[in-house]
Structure 1
Amino acid sequence: MLQLVANASKFPSKTAVIDSEGNYTYQDLLEKSHGVSEALLNDRSDLNEARVAFIVSPGIDYVATQWGIWRAGGIAVPLCISYPFPSLKYVIEDTTAGYLIVGPEFEELLLPYQENTNTKYLRLEELKSDSNIPLPEINPSRGAMILYTSGTTSLPKGVLTTHAIIESQISTLVKAWQWTSEDYILEILPLHHVHGIINVLCCALWSGATVQFLNPFSAKEVFRIFKEGKLNVFMAVPTIYFKLISEFESLSIAEQKELTAAMAKFRLMISGSAALPVSVMEKWKEISDHYLLERYGMTEIGMAISNPYIGERRAGHIGQPLPGVEFRLVDENNQPVADGEPGEIQVKGDSVFKEYWGKPESTAKAFTDEGWFLTGDIAVNTDGYLRILGRDSIDIIKSGGYKISALEIEEVLRTYPGIKDSGVLGIPNEEWGELVVAALVCEENPNLEQLSQWMRERMPAYKTPRKYIFIEDLPRNAMGKVTKNDLKKLF
């Protein structure tokens, strides 16, 4: 029996899921997911790793569908509910999905698949059964899920994980962040991504905790739920914290005090999926009494590095390797670098993915001969804490012989009066190799001469942007990461 399912059977009468339709116990979840499994199997004994793509709104139906696919022996392929049809088609066809489960609100979008002969189209409401047939035994080494990379540098790749890998990712975090059955968390993150699926949903359900779904996101509604006093764990991405801070600042002093008192009672608040600006970290501490725990992970590795649950959390740092994770920082020749020197993060461990689906060459290129996974992220190690400088192909600008961290420049720009956000990148230049440029989101556009002078007082001249543009907002993907290839087009 899958460990998630085995754990759920220990808490039959406890509330597992709360969504807009109601409250559901772990027993409800076990019964609903069993029904999905039976309907999928349809007289077969085992799906034998058939890919099952599904597009279902966040809530009990999403969880029951995901668990039902796993319990029937299929590989779950969650689709992003905000993607346009071409993006969904790419994932369905790239995984050669044998089944497509569609929630009622997405039927019109997926209409072309109703007559598709390669993929069996299944309406969510039809996936019910109460005959209680025995389900297959699932070996942990079997494929469990395919999630897609964000595709910031190339076409998205399907990341295949096994049940054993997922269980390793979950159990590592449950231990590191001290999850228990007393925990209660709000799920506001996209459920086609490791942050929402593993860090929030699976860790909570593995532990016997309660997950409350909120969809769509609303800062007002998040704060209303905070004030109810039931939540004690919260996870979000930096853009969400930014929106919550803006909402907080629009409230009366009395409402702010009530909210701060409610948030102070939480045991843990976490930020991830994109670099957390130090300014946001400090502002959130001021309004919530929480120093956000920042961590580092990827679709391919789950979470690998984290600031400690108990101990010093350093602003601007992703922390230390999690238990069971081997890591090293290396130079361009795969040689370890000294402390304080920038190097690529490479990772080994039981939480690392199995392969890129259908892409053996990409899989081979992603690992060294010794089995280290190449993350492509550049960091420095200072006193045992890692600080991300950026992604080698996006955030590391090679200008005039220097390697410059775009994230470092962005952090400084955000502290200038009137600048709300910034995106820094390098654009091709004959003289410099790459020219440092910045897109700014401002309350009102600053005097560029004064801004350049101010920047030069804070960092070397070669790091100072040579060109600025002003935009209303930075382009981002579903997880809040700035899509710098889109930004580059503006220059």
Structure 2
Amino acid sequence: MGRLSAWIMQHDHPQKIAISDGTESITYGELPKYMAAIQHAVATLQEENGKRPVGVVVDQSATSALILLSLIDGGVSFLPLDQQTTQAEQDRLAKMAFIRRWIKPDGGDRAISYSRLLAKGESRSMETGATETDLSASSAVVLLPTSGSTGPMKLAQLTHAVLYREGLVYKEWFDFTADDIALTTTPLNYMYGLTGSLMGSVLAGATLRICSAPTPRKVASEALASRSTILFGVPLLYQLLTQAEMITSNQLSALRMAISAGGRLDPAIASAFHGKFGARLLQVYGSTETGAIAATDPTGAETDGAVGSILPEVEVELTDQQVIVVRSPSLFQGYVTAEHGFVSPLHNGAYVTADIGMIKGRQLFLTGRQSEFINVAGRKVNANEIAQVLRSFPGILQAKVVGENDSLYGQKIIAYVVAEAAVSPQDIRFFLARHLAFYKIPHEIKLTAELPRSWKEQYVHQDREMP
């Protein structure tokens, strides 16, 4: 029995629903038994995989959440990917992580389906006499895709102990209880969804409702039907919920809090949400590399503009240029990259972020950012990665990708392309759809005779031309 199973078995409500997706529900009494069965089936899969990490395509179902919990509890290294990930991108990441076998909703070549995985292990009973696993001594890792600050997609490597700790951070800071019904709209293959909503809810003994393909109307409907007390989302969701006239305060009346992460939350949105629905909208600031760094104090008031109070056991320092440096038990180990294998950017146990900020007391403020990220509705997209794919298209001579502020998405993706006459935006978009996840496809593709230059590039160019 793993540490997570042992924790779950301490709950005294085996008939209570642990995870539900609206179609399928799993109780706390069933959860450890299913986890033990899946672990038995995955053990065989790992033998075939040479003990390498296992790939998992996550479809936001209760079964997918169960599989993720089983891998964590069983000490199995894994790479979780969104169901929207293209085959080309999946193949590239699998090669990077040396993954040979996959778990997918419908199976496929060198993959085992969800249903087959459960069938393989259904005859196994839980080994109740096994000793609890010490996660701090486990060598198992999770590999989470991240754009990094520059270059193409890479994999951030974190220990399972970090996933467990981050779940406890959410549980204890926000005071999750067994009486809570949490509704999550965030992908379970992302750090926020995996640790905040999934691990946090299960460690609290709460009920987790998964809302897949969320729209404001669907979220409001499910919140009303389930009487959800906690809502997990990104800033865009809360903006839309607040602005939607057809969504009433009654639909979210059971909420005691809403949690926002995945992008900076505008204080005006937090204020408007609280005014309309009566529940506080609390912000979490962090990253895949660092875990949660700061969060709104649910028991007190925050200074306007703060991203939150620095969390316990987290240390934040500022460089001479006011760049945020983080030390935390939740720091990742490093990146797995296609070019250089495993590399670690940690220095003296600290991670230098791309954010610029200031600290007042224990409250943290963001004042700028250094990186090349484009934040599209909470998803971090690297402009250089898209530009590299564009340049691989026959007929494209030059390409540049930038982010542009947008009232709906936060930022939208604009691609400037210098191409031969025969190339059309439709051809380019069709090509990109085969190589990039849907949220990385540029909102606008502009054919131009010359790429635009940033202010910095213009300055450097002008300086070089001076006599």
Distance 2:368 2:248 in 1: 35
Q: For structure 1, which runs of at least 5 residues remain unmatched after alignment?
A: 115-119, 333-342, 396-405, 408-424, 426-436, 444-470
Give 1:238's match in structure 2, choosing from 230, 235, 240.
235
Residue 44 (structure 1) shift: 7.8
**Matched residue, 2:184:** 187
Q: What amino acid sits opposite 2:111 in the alignment? A: Y
Distance 2:303 2:437 in 1: 27
Secondary structure of 2:307's counterpart equals coil
Residue 209 (structure 1) shift: 0.5
Task: Using CA pairs under 8 Å that are at least 6 residues apart, name the structure with larger relative contact order, 1 or 2.
Answer: 2
Q: Is the 8 A contact 1:306 1:318 kept in 2?
A: yes
**Matched residue, 1:321:** 310
Residue 311 (structure 1) shift: 0.8
Q: What amino acid sits opposite 2:250 in the alignment? A: E
Q: Is the 8 A contact 1:304 1:325 kept in 2?
A: yes
Q: Is the 8 A contact 1:272 1:296 kept in 2?
A: yes
Secondary structure of 1:42's counterpart equals helix
Distance 2:250 2:269 in 1: 21
Residue 307 (structure 1) shift: 1.7
**Matched residue, 2:367:** 389
Q: Is the 8 A contact 2:324 2:355 kept in 1?
A: yes
Query: Deviation string for 1:382-408 (max 9, x for gaps)?
Result: 34421112321248xxxxxxxxxx99x
Residue 121 (structure 1) shift: 2.0
Q: How does 1:189-268 map to 2 (within 5 A)?
A: 189-228=186-225, 230-246=227-243, 248-249=244-245, 251=246, 256-259=248-251, 262-263=252-253, 265-268=254-257
What is the TM-score normalised by the length of structure 2? 0.74
Q: What amino acid sits opposite 1:377 in the alignment? A: D
Distance 2:302 2:143 in 1: 32
**Matched residue, 1:475:** 413
Give 1:21's match in structure 2, choosing from 20, 23, 40.
23
The alignment's C-alpha RMSD in Å is 3.7
Give 1:311's match in structure 2, choosing from 297, 300, 306.
300
What is the TM-score normalised by the length of structure 1? 0.71
CA separation of 1:388/1:74 partners in 2, compared to 1, >3 Å: closer, same or farther? same
CA separation of 1:295/1:193 partners in 2, compared to 1, >3 Å: closer, same or farther? same
Secondary structure of 2:71's counterpart equals helix
**Matched residue, 1:331:** 320
Query: Deviation string for 1:437-490 (max 9, x for gaps)?
Result: 9946579xxxxxxxxxxxxxxxxxxxxxxxxxxx99723998999999999x88
Q: What amino acid sits opposite 2:279 in the alignment? A: H
**Matched residue, 2:70:** 68
**Matched residue, 1:85:** 87
Q: Is the 8 A contact 2:323 2:354 kept in 1?
A: yes
**Matched residue, 1:348:** 327
Give 2:169's match in structure 1, choosing from 169, 172, 192.
172
Q: Is the 8 A contact 1:45 1:136 kept in 2?
A: no
Residue 273 (structure 1) shift: 0.9
Query: Deviation string for 1:269-293 (max 9, x for gaps)?
Result: 1111101123322321221123321
Residue 78 (structure 1) shift: 0.8
Residue 160 (structure 1) shift: 1.6
Q: What amino acid sits opposite 1:299 in the alignment? A: T
**Matched residue, 1:5:** 5
CA separation of 1:153/1:484 partners in 2, compared to 1, >3 Å: closer, same or farther? farther
**Matched residue, 1:97:** 99
Query: Deviation string for 1:299-357 (max 9, x for gaps)?
Result: 0121111121211123432122111111111125xxxxxxxxxx111111211112223
CA separation of 1:315/1:3 partners in 2, compared to 1, >3 Å: closer, same or farther? farther
Give 1:124's match in structure 2, choosing from 95, 107, 114.
114
Distance 1:27 1:483 in 2: 46
Query: Deviation string for 1:359-404 (max 9, x for gaps)?
Result: 8979766222x22111121111234421112321248xxxxxxxxx
**Matched residue, 1:293:** 282
**Matched residue, 1:419:** none
Query: Deviation string for 1:205-247 (max 9, x for gaps)?
Result: 011110011112121121112223621111210111122223x
- The answer to whether 1:378 aligns with 2:356 is yes
Percent identity among equivalent residues? 20
Q: Is the 8 A contact 2:273 2:279 kept in 1?
A: yes
Secondary structure of 2:98's counterpart equals coil
Secondary structure of 1:240's counterpart equals helix
Q: For structure 2, which runs of at least 5 residues remain unmatched after alignment?
A: 376-382, 384-401, 415-435, 454-467
Secondary structure of 1:63's counterpart equals helix
Secondary structure of 1:319's counterpart equals strand
Distance 1:91 1:155 in 2: 11
Give 1:57's match in structure 2, choosing from 48, 56, 59.
59
**Matched residue, 2:456:** none
Q: What amino acid sits opposite 2:350 in the alignment? A: W
Secondary structure of 2:280's counterpart equals coil
Give 1:284's match in structure 2, choosing from 273, 276, 281.
273
CA separation of 1:95/1:323 partners in 2, compared to 1, >3 Å: closer, same or farther? same
Distance 2:28 2:159 in 1: 23
Distance 1:46 1:136 in 2: 26
Residue 133 (structure 1) shift: 7.2
